[in-house]
Amino acid sequence: MNEKPKRRSEMWRGVRRGTGWALGVGGVISVAALLRDGPRGTIKALMKTGMRGREVAAELAEQVQDLYAEAQSERFSESASTDG
């Protein structure tokens, strides 16, 4: 029973480390781009990245909604088969 909380804490520790690395790498890339292209190029690059992020988030949301609808449909069909 004590294994589950330990696994979760290890998982979240890994998530935090991964997030830290991602932010650090992103910061280094941003500074490098700022030094190379100047502020205008960096701002455009960040805007393009944000646009792509929105597209990815929209696709992910659509997939999650599809999965939810499938699970809901299966749940109702299972309950209908046990009732009748």
Tell me the pLDDT band of 1, cut-offs 50, 70 and 90: very low
pLDDT at 34: 73
User: pTM, whole model, 2 decimals?
Assistant: 0.47
Query: What is the DSSP annotation of 2-68?
Result: -HHHHHHHHHHHHHHHHHHHHHHHHHHHHHHHHHHHHHHHHHHHHHHHHHHHHHHHHHHHHHHHHHH
Digit-coded pLDDT (tens) for 44-76: 888 898 898 899 999 999 999 999 999 999 998
Say which residue, 12 or 44, is predicted with more confidence. 44
Average pLDDT over residues 22-42: 77
